[in-house]
Structures are given as C-alpha cells and as structure tokens.
C-alpha cells in the first residue's frame, strides 16, 4: 500500500505541475503585455499595476484550484486502488442499547 501511495502521490505532483505550467504558458503573454503597456506617468502606471496585480492573483488562485483538484483526484485514485475487491461487510448490530 505504501508503494501505491507513493506512486499515486508522484503522479498527482506531476499532474499538478503540468497543469500549472499550462496555465502559466496560456496567461503569461497577457501578463507581459500588461507590463509593457505601463506608461511612464505615475497616475496611469498605478492603474496598469492594479490590473497586473489582479491578473497575477487570478493566476495564483487558478493554480491553487488545480493543485486542490489533483490532490482530490489522487485521494480518489488511492482509495480505489487500495480498496479490497470483497463486497462490504454487513453492518453489525449491537446486542444491547447504549442509552435508553
């Protein structure tokens, strides 16, 4: 079970890394364009900096969503690969009542 957990963990890390790289490769040109469009004047520069900041935070949020999604997927995979093939046991009943 330990080897399976390590393999699934490594696969989850790889999927997370690939997903984040794809996200950054798609969104980086827009970030660079915002950086180049920043004018020399301070008043307009702050607006461009705000857009850059908002875009950067949006990418960070999307990256965290990718990581959480892949973590959940890894847990589901680990559960399905390590679950026994036996049918679930019948629910046991208590021969007595705990409280009346």
Is a pLDDT exceeding 60 seen at residue 62?
yes
How many angstroms separate the Cα of 95 from the Cα of each of 10, 19, 53, 90, 98?
46, 53, 63, 15, 10
Structural domain includes residue 70: yes
Average pLDDT rounded to a whole number, residues 76-90: 82
Structural domain includes residue 90: no
Structural domain includes residue 99: no
Structural domain includes residue 91: no
Is a pLDDT exceeding 60 seen at residue 26?
yes
Percentage, residues of the chain above pLDDT 70: 80
86 — pLDDT class (breaks 50, 70, 90): confident
Q: Which domain holds residue 78?
A: 2-82
Give CA–CA dist 31/8, Å, rounded: 33
68 — pLDDT class (breaks 50, 70, 90): very high
Structural domain includes residue 93: no
Is a pLDDT exceeding 70 seen at residue 97?
no
């Amino acid at each position: 079970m330990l080897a399976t957990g390590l393999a699934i963990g490594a696969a989850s890390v790889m999927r997370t890394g690939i997903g984040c790289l794809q996200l950054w490769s798609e969104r980086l040109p827009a970030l660079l364009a915002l950086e180049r469009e920043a004018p020399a004047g301070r008043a307009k520069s702050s607006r461009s900096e705000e857009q850059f900041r908002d875009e950067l935070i949006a990418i960070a949020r999307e990256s965290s969503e990718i990581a959480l999604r892949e973590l959940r997927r890894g847990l589901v995979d680990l559960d399905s690969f390590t679950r026994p093939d036996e049918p679930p046991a019948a629910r046991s009943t208590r021969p007595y009542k705990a409280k009346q």
